[in-house]
A and B are shown apart, each in its own frame.
Chain A
Amino acid sequence: MLFNSIDFALFYILVTVLYFAFPYKFRWVILLAASCYFYMAFVPIYILILGFTIVIDYFAGIYIERAQDPRRRKLLLMASLFANIGILAVFKYFNFINLNIDYLFTKFNYHNPIPYLSILLPIGLSFHTFQAMSYTIEVYRGNQKAEKHFGIYSLYVMFYPQLVAGPIERPQNILYQMHTKYPFNYNLMVSGLKMMLWGFFKKLVIADRLSIYVSSVYNNPDLHNGSTIVIASLFFAVQIYCDFSGYTDIAIGCAKTMGFDLMKNFNRPYFATNIQDFWRRWHISLSTWFRDYLYIPLGGSKVSTGRRYLNLFIIFLVSGIWHGANYTYIVWGALHGFYSVVYVIIKPYLRKTPENEFYATLMRMGNIALTITFVTFAWIFFRANSVADAFTLISNLKSFGAAPFFGDGISNFAHSLLAIAILFAVEYKMEYMPQKFNFYTSHNIVVRWGSVAVTVFLILILGVFNGGQFIYFQF
């Protein structure tokens, strides 16, 4: 069930009404049943996969906590991680690995005897697997008590707002909330709904609008010239941000209306002044996951310089693989790993921010532009249908012999630019003037209601209602 569907609107209203209508002790049942229904709307049978990991991790958590012997604790953790990663490997990477084996066999004129699996990727698999893994790791580290209530633990993995595309929560942040009694809170309800509205704006007005142009260019890489590819790539940078952060806003807002507080996942990433800053602002729940559960265990920065660079590169490479079983994501991850290593190397030699405010602003703008350029270049690989397509697009970048392609008439293009301008204005205000022009929370009811109504009408007038899937659902 997609957030941007009529089905979800009806589902959300029904679940929220039931949630508050039922006594507190039954609410977890309502949420769990709703989450199961939400998940089963995609491929019903896959609920069994989720059920399998839930059972494994639930008991692993309890036994890890009970175990006194460090070796036994480690063994239990390994078993839990093995089960989770095993499911990921089978459903997400098996065919990819097999394809590569196939390629190698063909090179030596052999037939690959391993058959391909004819399976669909369970939706949001990487997200809920990582969330489940963070639970057993935290129990193992002693940062989280094992959850004894099977229903509540199941809800921790399956909570429908963040089930398929995060934010990837930590047990310390969310599990206790599932035991907390939340009475109806007017302010949370209103601010959650406003957050959802802004998420819908980002998805329907910006992401899905830009996707029309981006798809027509990226699905036909040979047909387009350099100026078109530059525009399409910049559009994709905005599209993926609005698609994913729009989803996150809807998820966080939706949880908020029921009293839950999910972690922040985006912090205006395109205002980042360097690649490290970008990763502090982009998909925060995943970046911090890799930091806590991969980078630090690898030794983090408390190792030799060379090893530190290698660790940095590895987490980005793994992040690329996490996104999908395709070389496009691997190249994307490797590029970010390369950027990050280079940045760490050159950082000590970079010029300090000038004291003069004008020059400081100029330098910041230059740094933002440079960061966007590098990030956008890497997005070419992320969005391209194959690495070959990505190289075709890059090689066509030199071709500037004709005017850029504007799509089917200038109208869609103009609406895209208008949508980007609105986004930029809002994000600029939030970044540099957080206390000013707070229309949604103004004390003046006319301004407050008016701004919400304007957003609704902007969605009606400029939105694209083709039910476009969220990009991150496929991960």
Chain B
Amino acid sequence: MTQRLVIKFLLRLAAFCVLLIVMDRILGFAFKTVYFKQRVGQFSQTTYAIDSARQDVMIFGSSRAVRHYSSPIIAKGLGLSCYNSGRDGQMIPYAAAVQEVDFNRHKPKLAILDINPWELAINESKYEKLTILLPYCDKHPELIKYISEISPFEQYKLFSKVYPYNSSIFILATNALFPGKVKKDSSGYLPLYGVMTPAYLAEYKERMQARYLRIKVKKEVAEDKGIAYFKRFLDNTAKNNIKTIVIISPTLLKEPFALDNQTLERNLVATIAKSYPNVTFLDYSADTRFNYHAEKFSDEFHLNNKGSAEFSTAFVDYIKANNLLK
């Protein structure tokens, strides 16, 4: 009797597993089709950056990259084509991954890496967020080593054809249902249009100063693995002999890294960048044209369209004035 029940259970379990695998393949195919058919939004920009970008100037980095560098202004100012492959929520490991795939395909004339000191601080989420690369692992096996940072089992999870599209359902649905609502931009640049109020700036400044007083004795820590990714990025540009600019773009507060206990990381970024002959390091975090100018910021971390246009123009002028492309 018991044996019969065990066999019944095992047979049903096997049948259920077959059903799951079939559904996984069907759903996975549907997700893949919808995902790679997107022509708007940040997923499509990641796809473009990984699969197709061949511009002369490539911009890498986080949300501060994608929101701060107007590729049309940079392209026009330098007389070169430009693509912004920055991505919201991502950090240096993502930039290194996109750069590796990109450089395997073409060699840009200029690489720009927007970096934030906190990207070198201990923060596991910067690796967890690499799940965004999962849909591309089939086509670009060099990305497997990056996704292995998430967990050593990550590549085995790719047995499921649905799993690579984990956490993308909202964006996929939004882009599919309201394609007209998402602004199309073929240069990768995604400006923010909000404007911060002076009152909010004052309140934010007060909060940050209170934070500084509270945690100023906190021990500063930089993460070896984060530093290794930063160096990997720069090694790759050096190996390919590509002019590179590492930038800390404008910040709302002056010297925010002191307030946030990230001075050590900021100095480390500068030291590492300056040790490469092909790299120029620029720090706009104390630039008074932007510090405390609430009207140029959309939120605490990002310039708005007005601020980013002004910054991009100033940045191009600097490149030209200093002959950085020569």
Interface residues of A (CB under 8 A from B): 6, 20, 183-186, 189-190, 212, 220, 222-223, 225, 388, 392, 396, 399, 401-403, 407-412, 414-415, 418, 449, 452-453, 456-457, 460-467
Q: Which residues in B have their C-beta under 8 angstroms from that of A388?
A: 214
Q: In the docked arrangement, what's the CA distance between A449 and B22, Å?
A: 14
Residue B8, interface by CB 8 Å: yes
User: Are B151 and A467 in contact (CB-based, < 8 A)?
Assistant: yes
User: Are A409 and B88 in contact (CB-based, < 8 A)?
Assistant: yes
Q: Which residues in A have their C-beta under 8 angstroms from that of B165?
A: 461
User: Are A396 and B207 in contact (CB-based, < 8 A)?
Assistant: yes
Q: Which residue in chain A gives the minimum CB-CB distance to B28? A: A460
Q: In the docked arrangement, what's the CA distance between A20 and B2, Å?
A: 10
Q: In the docked arrangement, what's the CA distance between A411 and B203, Å?
A: 28
27 inter-chain pairs at a CB distance below 8 angstroms, sorted by A residue, are A184-B2, A184-B6, A184-B9, A189-B9, A212-B125, A222-B211, A223-B208, A223-B300, A388-B214, A392-B210, A399-B203, A399-B207, A408-B63, A408-B89, A409-B42, A409-B89, A410-B170, A412-B167, A415-B170, A460-B24, A461-B166, A462-B166, A463-B166, A465-B150, A465-B166, A466-B128, A466-B150
Q: In the docked arrangement, what's the CA distance between A185 and B125, Å?
A: 43
User: Are A452 and B163 in contact (CB-based, < 8 A)?
Assistant: no
Against A, the Cβ 8 Å flags (1 = close, 0 = not) of B39-68 are 000100000000000000000000100000
Q: Which residues in B have their C-beta under 8 angstroms from that of A396?
A: 207
Q: Which residues in B have their C-beta under 8 angstroms from that of A185?
A: 5
Q: A401's contact among B23, B197, B208, by CB below 8 Å, is which?
A: B197
Q: In the docked arrangement, what's the CA distance between A461 and B34, Å?
A: 14
Q: Which residues in A have their C-beta under 8 angstroms from that of B163?
A: 460
Q: B167's contact among A399, A402, A449, A462, by CB below 8 Å, is which?
A: A462
Residue B109, interface by CB 8 Å: no
Q: Which residues in A have their C-beta under 8 angstroms from that of B160?
A: 460
User: Are A453 and B19 in contact (CB-based, < 8 A)?
Assistant: yes
A443 to B: closest C-beta gap in Å: 15
Q: In the docked arrangement, what's the CA distance between A186 and B4, Å?
A: 10
Number of B residues contacting the other chain (C-beta, 8 Å)? Answer: 46
A164 to B: closest C-beta gap in Å: 21
What 11 new A-B contacts, CB under 8 Å, besides A411-B168, A465-B157?
A190-B9, A222-B208, A403-B194, A453-B19, A453-B20, A457-B162, A460-B24, A461-B165, A466-B124, A466-B128, A467-B151
Q: Which residues in A have their C-beta under 8 angstroms from that of B170?
A: 410-411, 414-415, 418
Q: Which residues in B have their C-beta under 8 angstroms from that of A456?
A: 20
Residue B177, interface by CB 8 Å: no
- B residues 137-174 touching A (CB-CB < 8 Å): 150-151, 153, 157, 160, 162-163, 165-171
Q: In the docked arrangement, what's the CA distance between A169 and B30, Å?
A: 47
Q: Which residues in A have their C-beta under 8 angstroms from that of B27?
A: 457
Q: Which residues in B have their C-beta under 8 angstroms from that of A410?
A: 170
A97 to B: closest C-beta gap in Å: 24
**Interface SS majority for chain A:** helix
Q: In the docked arrangement, what's the CA distance between A388 and B92, Å?
A: 32
Instruction: Give 7 closest A-B pairs by Cβ, nearest first.
Output: A408-B89, A222-B211, A401-B200, A414-B170, A186-B5, A409-B88, A222-B207
Residue B217, interface by CB 8 Å: no
Residue B196, interface by CB 8 Å: yes
Residue B283, interface by CB 8 Å: no
- B residues 160-203 touching A (CB-CB < 8 Å): 160, 162-163, 165-171, 194, 196-197, 199-200, 203
Q: In the docked arrangement, what's the CA distance between A372 and B288, Å?
A: 46
Q: Which residue in chain B gives the minimum CB-CB distance to A216? A: B125
B114 to A: closest C-beta gap in Å: 16
Residue B36, interface by CB 8 Å: no
Q: Which residues in A have their C-beta under 8 angstroms from that of B295?
A: none
User: Are B19 and A449 in contact (CB-based, < 8 A)?
Assistant: yes
User: Are B169 and A449 in contact (CB-based, < 8 A)?
Assistant: no
Q: In the docked arrangement, what's the CA distance between A401 and B169, Å?
A: 31
Q: In the docked arrangement, what's the CA distance between A217 and B162, Å?
A: 30
Q: Which residues in A have their C-beta under 8 angstroms from that of B207?
A: 222-223, 396, 399
Q: Which residue in chain B gives the minimum CB-CB distance to A408? A: B89
Residue B310, interface by CB 8 Å: no
Q: Which residues in A have their C-beta under 8 angstroms from that of B88?
A: 408-409
Residue B29, interface by CB 8 Å: no
Residue B318, interface by CB 8 Å: no
Q: Which residue in chain A gives the minimum CB-CB distance to B88? A: A409
B119 to A: closest C-beta gap in Å: 13
Q: Which residues in A have their C-beta under 8 angstroms from that of B211?
A: 220, 222-223
Q: Which residue in chain A gives the minimum CB-CB distance to B160? A: A460
- B residues 297-326 touching A (CB-CB < 8 Å): 299-300
User: Are A461 and B299 in contact (CB-based, < 8 A)?
Assistant: no
Against A, the Cβ 8 Å flags (1 = close, 0 = not) of B1-41 are 01001101100000010011001100100000000000000
Q: Which residue in chain B gives the minimum CB-CB distance to A452? A: B16
Q: Which residues in A have their C-beta under 8 angstroms from that of B254?
A: none
Q: Which residues in B have their C-beta under 8 angstroms from that of A418?
A: 170
Q: Which residues in B have their C-beta under 8 angstroms from that of A461?
A: 162, 165-167, 169
Known: A396-B207, A453-B23. A402 touches B153 (CB 8 A): no
Q: Which residue in chain B gives the minimum CB-CB distance to A456? A: B20
Q: Which residues in A have their C-beta under 8 angstroms from that of B214?
A: 222, 388, 392
Q: Which residues in A have their C-beta under 8 angstroms from that of B168?
A: 411
Q: Which residues in A have their C-beta under 8 angstroms from that of B153?
A: 6
Against A, the Cβ 8 Å flags (1 = close, 0 = not) of B220-262 are 0000000000000000000000000000000000000000000
Q: In the docked arrangement, what's the CA distance between A53 and B114, Å?
A: 56
Known: A392-B210, A402-B299, A418-B170. A457 touches B23 (CB 8 A): yes
Q: Which residues in B have their C-beta under 8 angstroms from that of A220?
A: 211
A118 to B: closest C-beta gap in Å: 17
Residue B129, interface by CB 8 Å: yes
User: Are B9 and A402 in contact (CB-based, < 8 A)?
Assistant: no
User: Are A401 and B199 in contact (CB-based, < 8 A)?
Assistant: yes
Q: Which residues in B have their C-beta under 8 angstroms from that of A225?
A: 203
Q: Which residues in B have their C-beta under 8 angstroms from that of A189?
A: 9
Q: Which residue in chain B gives the minimum CB-CB distance to A454? A: B23
Most buried by B among A222, A223, A461: A222
User: Are A462 and B2 in contact (CB-based, < 8 A)?
Assistant: no
Known: A189-B9, A461-B162. A402 touches B16 (CB 8 A): no
B142 to A: closest C-beta gap in Å: 22
User: Are B5 and A449 in contact (CB-based, < 8 A)?
Assistant: no
Q: Which residues in A have their C-beta under 8 angstroms from that of B200?
A: 401-402
Q: Which residues in A have their C-beta under 8 angstroms from that of B151?
A: 465-467
B85 to A: closest C-beta gap in Å: 16
Q: In the docked arrangement, what's the CA distance between A223 and B299, Å?
A: 12
Q: Which residue in chain A gives the minimum CB-CB distance to B1? A: A183
Q: Which residue in chain A gives the minimum CB-CB distance to B213? A: A222
B304 to A: closest C-beta gap in Å: 13
